[in-house]
Chains A and B, each alone.
Chain A
């Protein structure tokens, strides 16, 4: 085939053609890890699409052939009324563009296929929920707006209403969703390719020096259902704690839900370790997978996974992605474990990481009580009493530091933001209003705390209520919100950093008194001089 490659261990081509996500899935296949069957429409097809304004000739036929292959592999019928096959269609460029490109889940769940899925599973609610998820992600993608607000309904009647509402919305926007699985797929691939060229994506590439002509691949995979039953769910996992670098798996899991819920932060997640108690077989398989990907990439890794009826599937893998003190610890320990050499450890820690090693962090111990977790949006640690409104923040700040806790912020909160020592919001990401203002004011901030509910004079998180005035401490790097005032450190990577720098001095041969950055930089310069180019990432 010209435009399509199977996702299999035999594929030899690189990330430029397959995209980084599909390239990672090929690596997972080679490691013998469970990956849902699928194929990838290459970045070359995307480039042809962008050039000509339509999908390249022959792709329709290739898609039909590839799908017939998936049907044969799974024993299911795409869009069929009996044992229906549904697929995910995900973007995946050779460079990371988080949140910029489209993803469609449960594609192929036509009216007939949804009835078939309901009959097969005996669970009409599950089938309708899956169809609603398909329509919401598809409508968002083809209309270029977020229609996810219509999702997450309970009860079959309300699900049916929501399904009708999403279809109506797509019709109103002049982009009706076809009730034919094959046409849905062709439309979805075109939509994923078009998302490469939205103004927002173009802006992102301009800012990050990414060429506009790379294009994205479109990955089509058999759907696995994290919303299937009580032994199903979805999550993200780091092979090592990205906050500290400690060699223990870290992440979030969401029981009974599908993939986008974790990444989008729309639903409250549970700490990854709860998987061990609730689904020990899934946990064992995941731990094994994390070990194998680390050994393959010789680095800490991030994976996205789903489990359906007790069976684990890996949906994405990415090496690296730890920074600051965590990067120091990971590199040092990988060298201790002989996965990498000491020289390579030195090359993996840039002087920029050292600058972040000294950022104040909470030094959490088992005694500390983490009440909520979000996304760190402005580094630093702040302690104070919870204020839930701007007025309360201004009033209470006369008596000592306060932490302003809001669902999200708007111009109405400016006085509160100014009065507070730190900021926590339930919604929003690192580019939200609260995050932008917090950085402008240089105040530690944690945003996107899922499950945080802000009431009139109290907040609740993870099922616990905290009254206004409760003392909390927030860490704007790791995104933790802890009760009371845990110890704060500016030397989180302490012992590891001292060892790494001792290796640096051995390499540079200079043991004189200098600052940390100079010691590391000298070693890296010596190594780069010694080594042939291109040996290191």
Chain B
């Protein structure tokens, strides 16, 4: 793509910021499967090109400028059309939309459960309830695997989501409970990024 500094990492980072919102170097490295020093030097180049900006307000995060957003949109559209991936991505998006409400139900069930008819914060003191919710997460994840495979067959860059979703689920399964709904590496957060990516890729406004 013209006007972008050129290792291929730049466009990847722009797209990660487009889908995941403001993010620090460490998170971008995980999202892109890159090492942090590569990410950092690339971000500086992108900033010089006016495509990203740094927010030193205590969050220490990077985000897209309007120019960066436009450059990303142009590239993503060109990629979709030149690879002929639109029909496959559209079809996968429809299947994603069937799973999406169930995933959100599961996140809500992880956080809240009815006790005597009252929705109450899940204090995770009942391992059998947590195991049941986790079991349903795993079941949904198996069905999501099919959608993820369709997506990465159409556009290989979607492959990172499968890796990140599995990692979040594995960590939650081994006792790091925050990896389901809390924080930017949680299953919910990665899923929301995938949702945003599909909207961005297909050019569907929120």
Task: List residues of A whose CB falls within 8 A of some B CB.
Answer: 144-145, 199-200, 203-204, 206-208, 320, 323-324, 350-353, 355-356, 390, 394, 398, 407-408, 410-415, 418, 430-433, 435-437, 439-441
For A204, the chain B residues whose CB sits under 8 A away are 105
With CB as the reference atom, state the residue of chain B lying closest to A356: B118
Which of B98, B143, B196 is the one whose CB lies under 8 Å from A145? B98
Q: How far is the CA of A86 from the CA of B37 in the complex (A)?
A: 66
Q: Hey, what's the 0/1 contact readout for B114-141 against A, CB within 8 Å counting as 1? A: 1111111100000000001101100110
Which residues of chain B have a CB within 8 Å of any CB of chain A? 19-22, 55, 57, 59, 61, 94, 97-98, 101-102, 104-109, 111-121, 132-133, 135-136, 139-140, 143, 181-184, 186, 188-189, 192-193, 195-196, 206
Question: How far apart sit A85 and B115, CA to CA, in the bound complex (Å)?
Answer: 44
Interchain nearest-CB distance for B203 vs A (Å): 15
- Closest chain-A Cβ to B185's Cβ sits at a distance in Å of 12
Contact partners of B143 in chain A: CB under 8 A: 199
Contact A440 B116 (CB under 8 A): no
Contact in complex: B108, A353 (CB < 8 Å): no
- Which residues of A lie under 8 Å from residue B108 when comparing CB positions? 430-431, 435-436, 439
9 A–B pairs (Cβ distance < 8 Å), ordered by A: A199-B102, A323-B117, A324-B118, A350-B116, A350-B117, A410-B195, A433-B104, A436-B108, A439-B181
Alpha-carbon distance A208/B184, docked complex (angstroms) = 28
- A418, B189: Cα distance in complex, Å: 14
B20 lies within 8 A of A411 (CB): yes
**A436 to B117 CA separation, bound complex (whole angstroms):** 20
- Least Cβ distance of A365 to chain B in Å? 26
- Evaluate contact between B97 and A145: CB separation under 8 angstroms: yes
A271 CB, min distance to chain B CBs, angstroms: 24
A/B pair count, beta carbons within 8 Å? 115
Min C-beta distance of A308 to chain B, whole Å: 32
Q: Compute how far the CA of A441 lies from the CA of B186 in the bound complex, rounded to whole angstroms.
A: 13
Q: Which residues of A contact B106 (CB under 8 A)?
A: 203, 207
Cβ–Cβ contact B107 & A431, under 8 A? yes
With A430-B108, A432-B104, A433-B104 as known contacts, state yes or no: A203 contacts B139, CB within 8 Å.
yes
Task: Report how far A208 CA is from B113 CA in the complex, Å.
Answer: 9
**Contacts A351-B116, A433-B104 supplied; 15 other A-B pairs, CB < 8 Å:** A145-B94, A199-B139, A200-B102, A203-B139, A323-B118, A323-B119, A350-B115, A390-B22, A408-B206, A411-B189, A412-B22, A414-B184, A431-B107, A439-B121, A440-B111
| CB-based contact A352/B116 at 8 Å | yes
Q: List residues of chain B with CB within 8 A of the CB of A412.
A: 21-22, 196
Closest to B112 in A: A439
The binding surface of chain A is classed by DSSP as: helix
Partner of B196, one of A144, A207, A410, A435: A410
Q: Which residues of A contact B102 (CB under 8 A)?
A: 199-200, 203
> Judging by beta carbons under 8 Å apart, are A436 and B193 in contact?
no
Whole-angstrom CA separation of A441 from B117 in the bound complex: 24
How would you classify the secondary structure of chain B's contact residues: helix, strand, loop or mixed? helix
Closest A residue, CB atoms, query B178: A440
CA distance A96 to B107 in the complex (A): 20
Q: Given known contacts A203-B136, A207-B132, A433-B104, is B181 in contact with A410 (CB within 8 Å)?
A: no
Contacts of A407 in B (CB 8 A): 206
CB neighbours (8 Å) of A145 from chain B are 94, 97-98
B111 — which chain A residues lie within 8 A by C-beta? 436, 439-440
Which chain A residue lies CB-closest to B135?
A206
Q: Are A414 and B22 in contact (CB under 8 A)?
A: yes
Q: Taking the nearest CB of chain B, how far is it from the CB of A211, in angstroms?
A: 14
- The answer on a CB contact under 8 Å between B116 and A410 is no
Whether A411 contacts B196 in the complex (CB less than 8 A), given A145-B97, A439-B112, comes out as yes
B107, A436: Cβ atoms under 8 Å? yes
Q: How far is the CA of A390 from the CA of B132 in the complex (A)?
A: 35
B188 touches A411 (CB 8 A): no
**When chains A and B are docked, how far (Å) is the Cα of A437 from the Cα of B183?**
8
Minimum CB–CB distance for B14 against chain A, Å: 14
Please, which residue of chain B has its CB at the minimum distance from the CB of A410? B196
Shortest beta-carbon distance, A150 to chain B, in Å? 15
Q: Which residues of B contact A398 (CB under 8 A)?
A: 57
Top 5 nearest A-B pairs by Cβ distance? A350-B116, A412-B21, A431-B108, A431-B104, A200-B102
Complex Cα spacing A430 to B119, Å:
11
Inter-chain contact A431/B136, CB cutoff 8 Å? no
